Structure 1
Amino acid sequence: MIPAHVPENRIVNFDIFNPPGVEDDYFAAWKTLLQGPGLVWTTANGGHWIAARGDVVRNLWNDSARLSNQCLAVTPGLGEVMQFIPLQQDGAEHKAFRMAVMKGLASRYVVALEPRVVEIAGELIANLRPRGSCDFVAEFAEVLPLNIFLSLIDVPLEDRPRLRQLGVQLTRPDGSMTVEGLKQAADDYLWPFIQKRMAEPGDDLFSHILSEPVMGRGWTEDEARRMCRNLLFGGLDTVAAMFGMVALHLALNPQDQRLLREQPDLIPAAADELMRRYPTVAVSRNAVTDIEVDGVTICKGDLVYLPSVLHNLDPASFDAPEEVRFDRDLTPIRHTTMGVGAHRCVGAGLARMEVIVFLREWLSQMPEFRLDLTQPVRMKGGNVGACITLPLVW
């Protein structure tokens, strides 16, 4: 049922998990919304608003006073069940817990992790190069960042396939698991590690965070579960998705491969620009008060979906946004790939470092690569869109 406050001319039928044409081109599927008003109401997934213009996406993403993060996603019941810390918190509580997480992810730890990223990237590349082809997603993009994250929290690397499936069910659910089942699977896996970290802190990410006091006290077991649950799901999908999109761009644009091979000092700027050009993360917010936006009213309790793709690819936000320009001025970084405001991704520094290392190591050790035209590239929508198959040859 469409709420009475939703104007008829704002109603669309747009399923964020399966936009029309998403299997072939995630970005083209989403860009169809840029042709209409800045805020639309979709009848899919129980009904919710979608911010459909760059300024509306960014302004609402940054509006933590009137929009809460407690809903987590448009998936019914997901927010109520997951109760992530700090992602689903607001105000002073969010600030206190986020500070502890940020200290655990301090830049010195990210810098110390870089040699391990280089090592794993080198091992993967050495195994792939003699073959002359690969499915980049399954054999690199879903391996490197997940292995790094599992190393960071000090859990067995052989658990990667099992945990990867949990991450996919959160961001691109297929109905095979209930929300409650997904949470329970994560908690059952994490609890032995949490108990050990709280009793005997080590040098892993969970230990670093749980040893940081929150509001002058230690973490409760419930808070520790909710935080570790948040970081587990946060680390399982987003960087892998970004790797896939970056590799797809380079496979389609050999001139950019050549430029970065010849001028590797451009790689950090290239990483920033490619992350801007290929955003696939979206967040959901629920209004805690009525908000007037783009000539309509978001009423208290309404859910609003904020896709980074519709900010980063809006011509009103960036000049020629679909062009990749390694000399594009992104200082201060204004794209929304990693979010904006109080809830900007706590792992943004780690993600950027991983993309830079991937570009540097892959381009220095692999010959020029291209798409394998005998096999299709496939994409999927969701709270984190991604390539699910990316066949490459060299």
Structure 2
Amino acid sequence: MEVPSGVATDRVVDFDIFNPPGVETDYFSAWQSLVRPDGPGMVWTTANGGHWIATRGDVVRSLWADSERLSSEVLAVTPGLGEMMKFIPLQQDPPEHGPFRLSVMKGLASRYVVALEPKVAEVTRELIAAIKPAGACEFVEEFAEILPLHIFLTLIDVPLSDRPRLRALGAQLTRPDGSMTVEQLRDAADDYLRPFIEARMANPGEDLFSRIFVAGVDGRPWTMDEARRMCRNLLFGGLDTVVAMIGMITLHLARHPQDQTYLRAHPELLPQAADELMRRYPTVSVSRNAVVDMEIDGVQVRAGDIVYLPSVLHNLDPSAFEAPEEVRYDRALNPTRHTTLGAGAHRCVGAGLARMEVIVFLREWLANMPDIRLDPDKPVRMKGGNVGACTALPLIWN
């Protein structure tokens, strides 16, 4: 795509968000390659049809929360994805999205998250018991891809045996490989969800979807189209982000055995340790499209332009956090300060659930596993996309 008129050459890059240079070995360094000392806060990439990328922490943070000039309808850089998915409430803008988001938040109220904590601990211990005797594991395949999906499928009360099928759909949304069109991806999700939606709308139970349906939308029932779009949103939202989060956190522990020792000795610090590790290893990025012509960081952004907002470039910006690449368990950190789980009106509706899962994982893993380290004979592999992740994390222990 042509570079917009008036954009200086130092603002133009050829940066593919799905495959940043060097992402296979270090997702974070790959993204930080965009940042230059005293460099611009916005750049234009010619990749993927051309779009803006916010590269400075203050710009990322302010635009993430700007729902007046930027719309969430576009969803992603992937052509056609937003038009096909029409997620509720993720692709809605205020004030329309407010009543829908409120209903989803009621379904994910803190009392339900607290009630689920014993199940998270139970599944974590079961997975540990399965891998521990071997002295080694491929953590992503044997643990990270199982725990969060197990919990989410329990939450929506669908068969746990469906996990591999759904995991494949989640990967196609955030890291598409071209094997499915966006229409095929949407239809596959809808075909899977349809019988569950129809059953829960007719006879609500105690699962997450049922609780949301019972809450209604601003005093009225959900329509079938709205219910399908909302369940589609929650399904994809629950399939990838926590998997990536747990993978990155475990990679840190494997690289820093002293942190394993320290956290075992200070279990009271696990909640703030979870917050700090989530801040340090963010992998979620979002797309927004401008609804008006505006100036951002000295460049003219036209109505309709896509602006890409990577949480990694906010969380690892020294102007946003002191020594951001250091993990400091005594860092005074409100979880809403970092953008790992979003910011503003579209902060992740499942943020409380995700945080609880990470805390419980850390508690049970450190209590029941010996010191872990990376297998020196097998490489760590990573992948880019709207949710970056470890795709291979080989661990060993004595």
TM-score bucket (shorter structure): over 0.9
Partner of 1:142: 145
Return the offset for 1:97.
Answer: 0.3
**SS of 1:387 mapped into structure 2:** strand
**SS of 2:95 mapped into structure 1:** helix
Specify the code of the residue in structure 2 equivalent to 1:215: D
Equivalent in 105, 121, 126 of residue 123 of structure 1:
126
**SS of 2:96 mapped into structure 1:** helix
The answer as to whether partners of 1:273 and 1:326 remain within 8 angstroms in 2 is: yes
Equivalent in 264, 267, 289 of residue 264 of structure 1:
267
Return the offset for 1:331.
Answer: 2.9
Partner of 1:110: 113
Partner of 1:379: 382
Return the offset for 1:92.
Answer: 1.6
Partner of 1:11: 12
Question: Superposed, which structure 2 residues align to 1:298-377 within 5 Å?
Answer: 298-331=301-334, 333-377=336-380
- Point out where structure 2 has 5 or more consecutive residues left out of the alignment: none
Partner of 1:205: 208
**SS of 2:33 mapped into structure 1:** helix
Q: In structure 1, what is the Cα distance between the partners aligned to 2:271 and 2:222?
A: 37
Q: In structure 1, what is the Cα distance between the partners aligned to 2:50 and 2:120?
A: 42
Cα distance per residue 1:62-92 (max 9 Å; x no partner): 1011100000000000000000000000112
Question: Superposed, which structure 2 residues align to 1:145-164 within 5 Å?
Answer: 145-164=148-167
Specify the code of the residue in structure 1 equivalent to 2:354: A
Partner of 1:177: 180
1:333–1:97 CA distance, 2 compared to 1 (3 A) = closer
Q: In structure 2, what is the Cα distance between the partners aligned to 1:234 and 1:102?
A: 14
Partner of 1:20: 21
Partner of 1:47: 50
The answer as to whether partners of 1:53 and 1:310 remain within 8 angstroms in 2 is: yes
Q: What is the root-mean-square deviation of aligned Cα atoms in Å?
A: 0.8
Q: In structure 1, what is the Cα distance between the partners aligned to 2:216 and 2:243?
A: 32
The answer as to whether partners of 2:275 and 2:335 remain within 8 angstroms in 1 is: no
Specify the code of the residue in structure 1 equivalent to 2:96: E
Partner of 2:62: 59
Specify the code of the residue in structure 2 equivalent to 1:311: H
Partner of 2:290: 287
The answer as to whether partners of 2:293 and 2:300 remain within 8 angstroms in 1 is: yes
The answer as to whether partners of 2:336 and 2:343 remain within 8 angstroms in 1 is: no
Q: In structure 2, what is the Cα distance between the partners aligned to 1:146 and 1:265?
A: 27
Deviation larger for 28-37 or 178-187:
28-37
The TM-score, its normalising length taken from structure 2, stands at: 0.98
Aligned residue-pair number: 394
**SS of 1:41 mapped into structure 2:** strand
Partner of 2:221: 218
Return the offset for 1:2.
Answer: 2.0
**SS of 2:330 mapped into structure 1:** coil
Cα distance per residue 1:192-238 (max 9 Å; x no partner): 00000000000000000011121221000000000000000000000
**SS of 2:53 mapped into structure 1:** strand
**SS of 1:134 mapped into structure 2:** strand
Specify the code of the residue in structure 1 equivalent to 2:148: P
Partner of 2:194: 191
Cα distance per residue 1:258-296 (max 9 Å; x no partner): 001111111111000000000000000000011211111
Q: In structure 1, what is the Cα distance between the partners aligned to 2:131 and 2:326?
A: 30
Q: In structure 2, what is the Cα distance between the partners aligned to 1:134 and 1:251?
A: 12
Partner of 2:32: 31
Q: In structure 2, what is the Cα distance between the partners aligned to 1:329 and 1:291?
A: 35
Return the offset for 1:4.
Answer: 1.7
Moved over 3 A (4+): none
Question: Superposed, which structure 2 residues align to 1:232-247 within 5 Å?
Answer: 232-247=235-250
Return the offset for 1:93.
Answer: 1.2
Specify the code of the residue in structure 2 equivalent to 1:49: W
Equivalent in 83, 86, 91 of residue 88 of structure 1:
91
1:72 is aligned to 2:75: yes
Return the offset for 1:6.
Answer: 2.9
Specify the code of the residue in structure 2 equivalent to 1:8: T
Specify the code of the residue in structure 1 equivalent to 2:138: D
The answer as to whether partners of 2:64 and 2:309 remain within 8 angstroms in 1 is: yes
**SS of 2:348 mapped into structure 1:** coil
Cα distance per residue 1:151-184 (max 9 Å; x no partner): 0000000000000000000000000000000000
Q: In structure 1, what is the Cα distance between the partners aligned to 2:150 and 2:326?
A: 32
- Give the fraction of aligned pairs with identical amino acids, expressed as a percent: 73
The answer as to whether partners of 1:34 and 1:314 remain within 8 angstroms in 2 is: no
1:332–1:205 CA distance, 2 compared to 1 (3 A) = closer
Q: In structure 1, what is the Cα distance between the partners aligned to 2:5 and 2:97?
A: 33
Q: In structure 2, what is the Cα distance between the partners aligned to 1:332 and 1:349?
A: 10
The TM-score, its normalising length taken from structure 1, stands at: 0.99
Return the offset for 1:34.
Answer: 1.5
Specify the code of the residue in structure 2 equivalent to 1:198: M
**SS of 2:75 mapped into structure 1:** coil
- Point out where structure 1 has 5 or more consecutive residues left out of the alignment: none
The answer as to whether partners of 1:105 and 1:205 remain within 8 angstroms in 2 is: yes
